Amino acid sequence: MKKITFIIIFILISFTEGKSQNLELGFGIGTGTAYIIENSDSGINIDYSTPFSSYVDLKYSKSENYFGAKVRFQYLNSGIKGTNWKNNSFEIDGEVTSLTTFILLEHLESENWNFGYNFGFGYSNQILRPDSINSSNEIVSNYMSFHLGGILNKRINENFSFKVEPSVLWTDPVNSFRNSDKWQIAGEDISLLLQFGVIYRIN
């Protein structure tokens, strides 16, 4: 996945020689509600703390195209506490951290104020640490994720813009359709994020 990501970034950069082609670098931070289905299930004793999220992305677009292409690296961290509902004798007091590489399509005009949206799939690497002190029993998972976001963008000047981005992060959508007995802790679920970011137009 890393090789594919670097190839995509190289292609995006190499395409920006034309005047009608734009390359933008974005970064931001935010919070929200993590793993809302599992967190709201009254039948299990699991609580997720308010998450911290951050991202860095690179977008390539052409003025005549409706969509631009974006590569995003999305970080998400949330505390987790309760009882392991897969093994009721095991108490959890730790954290969940994930890093997802997304390939997104995004529509956003270059007006002073503008609404837009983006969507796409990504590859997530997640680490569940049931015990924040002892890291030897951490669980590493890899799965596909889906992102759908809205955008409120305010252009500051020719090169900089500020944006607010509410989004839905669906982790492991493929296995979400399995029997619920096979679901995992901090696995097949949905998180709601609200992130604030800055966009710098490179070209």
**pLDDT tens, position by position, 166-203:** 999 999 988 888 776 677 888 888 999 999 999 999 87
- Host H or E run for residue 5: helix 2-14
- Host H or E run for residue 100: strand 91-107
pLDDT band at 89 (very low <50, low <70, confident <90, very high): low
HSE value, Cβ hemisphere, 13 Å, CA-based, for 177: 2
Q: Supply 111's token pair.
A: 């007006």
What is the CATH number for 32? 2.40.160.20
Domain hosting residue 125, numbered range: 2-201
Would you say residue 51 has pLDDT above 80? yes
pLDDT band at 38 (very low <50, low <70, confident <90, very high): confident
Total domain count for the chain? 1
Widest pairwise Cα distance in the chain: 63
Residue whose pair of structure tokens reads 């992305």 in the numeric block: 57
